[in-house]
Amino acid sequence: MKSFQLKGGIPLKGQVRISGSKNTALPLIAASLLTEEPVILKNVPNLEDVRTMVDILKHVGVAVSFRDGTMAITPKSGLGNHLPYESVRKMRASFNVLGPLVMRHGEAHVPLPGGCAIGPRPVDMHLEGMRALGIETTINHGVVSAKRIQTPDAQTFHLRIPSVGTTEQLLSIAVLMEGAEVVLNNVALEPEVQEMALFLNRMGARIEGIGTSALRITGVKRLFGTEYEIIPDRIETGTYLLAALVSRGDVELVGYHPGHNVTLVRKLQEMGADIRESENRIRARYLRPLRGTDIHAEVYPGVPTDLQPQLTVLAAVSEGVSVITDTVFTDRFVHVDELKRLGANCSVRNHTIIVHGVDQLKGAPVKANDLRGAAALILAGINAKDQTVIQNIDYIFRGYEEISSKLRGIGAQCELVEEELAS
Ligand code: UD1
């Protein structure tokens, strides 16, 4: 385990290059299992979660090489169809290899992912959708076994919630249901889901309605190898925009995807931040004290839940009262108590965070409990007077490529330290 030591109160200035999107790379790597031909992915971020997904592919018998952002995935004959508990426990997204494995193998066995620090995360809709698509699912000793028993000629499935993971799982099944016409209604609209559909079409799938809440899929017999470039990470983008503002600095992000952070940008402008976009760049400047506001984390195109903890930090150092709710993970509050240790005046009441802004946070030892919560604590440390030490910072390596050197490049005084040395 590592700690992150920060000396806060320094306005960040300069440029940061945005990495490839984690939540696009993961489902695309999993979906590569759908073809027997090689797949090349470019702009893949070098992250712990990506390495976990690579280990899963290797575990089921796929050769993967990954260097300088380019990943080559070469399937071998005799694909395995069991996943160890360890990989699903580490990362929920690994549950999404179930669909590709069952379509390649006829049956597959993947442990249930269970809950995590951001609240309960069931897979009931994944299983309900699979059953609608002719796949029998049973759960024994915590392992989901899925078996293809029939291919319906036509099927419509309505997602109760526009879930990202469920949409991706069902897409990877429907594309290989040869001859069947499948309609998925109320699907997730997140750019990462759209990218997965575009990627599958590039492999020879027939998906229509991409970018709308109804996807029409005509199943094909086989998919082909392809080459695909991963889009920039909109959550990393948002995190650095917020880092610039909590530090009261001026930071430009390069390699930005215009249009993917519209609601966030509007919210930050409403709070009084100076945000300017041009082509593939976006710049956040702190010119005057920001005003507190109401923030609702919602499905796309709303403010993403994966930026809610970081936005809580900005609210904590903005003027007046902010009210923050998260309609995706309604109990995603594990960061709040740690922020209080840093002097934030915030509390949770009835699934809502009430924040009374203070001028500046104060450094203290804190502990990270999840990926985005860890990012929020780093932002808090960037703002705070004196030194902040964040224990258990390893979560951050799941989702932020080279965060320590990127932050140092814009003037942050921060350092990763082995925990034994820090104590
Ligand atoms: C993905 C993202 C994650 C992000 C989340 C919401 C990846 C790898 N992860 O997670 O970073 O925070 O989208 O944008 O892309 N639900 C059910 N039953 C199910 C499935 C989901 O009730 O079978 C609920 C969840 O509990 C949650 C909501 O649906 O309340 C949305 O979750 P979902 O979109 O599925 O999130 P993930 O795909 O797990």
- Per-residue pLDDT tens over the stretch 219-269: 999 999 999 999 999 999 999 999 999 999 999 999 999 899 999 999 999
Q: Is the CB of 26 under 6 A from ligand 1?
A: yes
Q: Is the CB of 167 under 6 A from ligand 1?
A: no
pLDDT of 114: 65
Distance CA 413, CA 392 (A): 19
Which residues make beta-bridge pairs with 158? 185
Which residues make beta-bridge pairs with 259? none
Within a 10 A sphere around the Cβ of 120, how many other Cβ atoms? 10
pLDDT of 77: 74
Nearest CA to ligand 1 atom 32: 163
Q: Mean pLDDT of all residues in the chain? A: 95
Span of 17-31, 71-85, 371-385 with lowest mean pLDDT: 71-85
Q: Is the CB of 162 under 6 A from ligand 1?
A: no
2-18+232-418: CATH topology is UDP-n-acetylglucosamine1-carboxyvinyl-transferase; Chain (3.65.10)
Within a 10 A sphere around the Cβ of 337, how many other Cβ atoms? 15
Distance CA 347, CA 202 (A): 47
* Res. 150: pLDDT tops 60: yes
Q: Give domain 22-229's CATH number out of 2.60.40.650, 3.40.190.10, 3.65.10.10, 3.90.550.60.
A: 3.65.10.10
Q: Is the CB of 189 under 6 A from ligand 1?
A: no
346 catalytic per annotation:
no
**For residue 345, what are the CA distances in angstroms to 6, 115, 186, 272, 366?**
21, 28, 38, 21, 16
Rg of the chain (C-alpha set): 22
Distance CA 134, CA 409 (A): 52
**Residue type for position 15:** Q
- Asked if residue 391 lies in contact with residue 41, where contact means CB atoms within 8 angstroms, the answer is no
Share of the chain above pLDDT 70, in %: 98
Question: How many angstroms is it from 69 CA to the middle of ligand 1?
Answer: 26
Portions of the chain given CATH number 3.65.10.10 = 2-18+232-418, 22-229
Distance CA 317, CA 319 (A): 7
Burial environment of residue 150 by CB neighbours within 10 A (0 to 12, 13 to 18, 19 or more): exposed
**For residue 15, what are the CA distances in angstroms to 12, 242, 274?**
9, 14, 16
Report phi then psi at 182, rounded to 5. -115, 135
Question: How many angstroms is it from 308 CA to the middle of ligand 1?
Answer: 15
Note the pLDDT tens digit of each residue in 322-344.
999 999 999 899 999 999 999 99
pLDDT of 78: 77
**For residue 259, what are the CA distances in angstroms to 44, 177, 195, 263, 335?**
21, 33, 14, 9, 28
Range 9-16 average pLDDT: 98
Which residues make beta-bridge pairs with 390? 4, 366
Residue-wise DSSP of 353-399: EEEE--S--B--EEE--SHHHHHHHHHHHHHSBSEEEEETGGGGGGT
Question: How many angstroms is it from 123 CA to the middle of ligand 1?
Answer: 9
3-class SS of residue 171: helix
Distance CA 165, CA 157 (A): 15
Distance CA 246, CA 146 (A): 47
Note the pLDDT tens digit of each residue in 264-290.
999 999 999 999 999 899 999 999 999
Atom of ligand 1 nearest to the CA of 162: 34
pLDDT of 334: 92
Q: Give the model's confidence band at 113: pLDDT under 50 very low, under 70 low, under 90 confident, else very high.
A: confident
Active-site pick, 116, 117, 321, 422? 116
pLDDT of 253: 98
pLDDT of 96: 95
Question: Under 8 Å CB-to-CB from 147, ≥6 apart: which residues?
Answer: 102, 106, 107, 135, 136, 137
Note the pLDDT tens digit of each residue in 334-387.
999 999 999 999 999 988 999 999 999 999 999 999 999 999 999 999 999 999
pLDDT of 294: 96
Which residues make beta-bridge pairs with 285? 250, 274
Distance CA 313, CA 244 (A): 12
Note the pLDDT tens digit of each residue in 154-165.
999 999 999 999
* Res. 421: pLDDT tops 60: no
- Asked if residue 44 lies in contact with residue 66, where contact means CB atoms within 8 angstroms, the answer is yes
CA trace torsion 266, 268, 271, 272 (10° rounding): -100
Nearest CA to ligand 1 atom 25: 121
| The model's pTM | 0.97
Element (H, E) at 283: strand 281-285
pLDDT of 115: 59
